[in-house]
């Protein structure tokens, strides 16, 4: 493999890494916003069954966010 091919591969890998990091950052921000909305009562399910599912999802989202930090 010549240096031009190696540089192209390196560039593609760096670009993919940058895109993945950008997507992860956007997802983290959206997750933080959803958690804030939940905590402030802006997101509230109408039925008790939905409430328990939403609470479980909220707790999972909080745990994931803590692991990402």
Give the pLDDT confidence of 28-62 residue by residue, as tens digits. 888 788 778 777 877 665 566 666 777 787 788 77
What is the crossing angle of helices 3-39 and 48-68, to 10°?
140
Residues 32/33/37/43 CA torsion (nearest 10 deg): -100
Residue carrying structure tokens 């802006």? 42
Please write the tens of the pLDDT for every residue from 6-30. Answer: 999 999 999 999 999 998 888 888 8
User: What is the C-alpha separation between 27 and 33, in angstroms, rounded?
Assistant: 10
How much is the pTM?
0.58
């Amino acid at each position: 493999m010549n240096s031009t091919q190696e540089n192209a591969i390196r560039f593609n890998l760096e670009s993919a890494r940058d895109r993945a990091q950008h997507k992860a950052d956007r997802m983290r921000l959206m997750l933080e916003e959803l958690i804030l909305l939940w905590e402030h009562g802006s997101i509230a399910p109408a039925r008790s069954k939905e409430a328990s599912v939403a609470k479980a999802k909220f707790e999972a989202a909080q745990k994931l966010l803590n692991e990402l930090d």
